[in-house]
Amino acid sequence: MADVLLADPAGWRVLSPDLRRLRRTLLILGAVPAVVLTVLVTVAVGGWPWSLVALVPLAVAGWAWLAIGRVCRAWRYAEREDDLLISRGVLVQRLVVVPYGRLQLVDVTAGPLARRFGIARVQLHTAAATSDAVIPGLRPPEAARLRDALTERGEARSAGL
């Protein structure tokens, strides 16, 4: 969406599909018990026809399944010469420009589940608490490369406060 900012659309990088896999796995882990529980409760209380109520959590889960796909596809980032672009969001669309010279620290985190799926999360901090720059699903080598590149350029272009 940002042709003004990035002349070459191929400069955008996308997230690892493993993030989608992780989030959908979590969704299934939550949705299956919810559907089963709804069926059991409704059948026990009202009889078989009532089990159709279970379609509600099923529909929600289906919608969430599609939403996860769209959100993960919309989440992109691009390294420009002096700043990092992050574009994300389907419903609320956001575009963040973080200059390398303003980076205070770069966090790379990977929880136990994320490690199982082979992804890590990179978060950029500036002196402003409102800069909201997160890249959630990167393969660890790419996350490490990005972290090193960012800190290196941050040092080269560092500009006080």
Residues that bind other proteins (CB under 8 A): 1-2, 4-5, 81-83, 91-99, 101-102, 104-105, 125-133, 156-161
* Cβ distance to other proteins smaller for residue 40 or 128: 128
Nearest 5 degrees, angle CA 31-CA 32-CA 33?
Answer: 95
Which amino acid, 131?
A: S
Across the beta sheet with 133-138, what order do the strands follow?
105-109, 120-125, 133-138
Region of 56 (left: φ > 0; alpha: ψ -120 to 50; beta: rest) is alpha
* Least distance from other proteins to the Cβ atom of residue 17, Å: 26
* Least distance from other proteins to the Cβ atom of residue 82, Å: 5
* Cβ distance to other proteins smaller for residue 96 or 149: 96
* Least distance from other proteins to the Cβ atom of residue 71, Å: 15
Region of 89 (left: φ > 0; alpha: ψ -120 to 50; beta: rest) is left
Secondary structure (3-state) at 146: helix
- The sign of the torsion formed by the CA atoms of 80, 131, 155, 140 equals negative
- The sign of the torsion formed by the CA atoms of 147, 107, 20, 90 equals negative
* Cβ distance to other proteins smaller for residue 53 or 64: 64
* Least distance from other proteins to the Cβ atom of residue 121, Å: 18
* Least distance from other proteins to the Cβ atom of residue 50, Å: 35
* Cβ distance to other proteins smaller for residue 54 or 135: 135
* Cβ distance to other proteins smaller for residue 25 or 93: 93
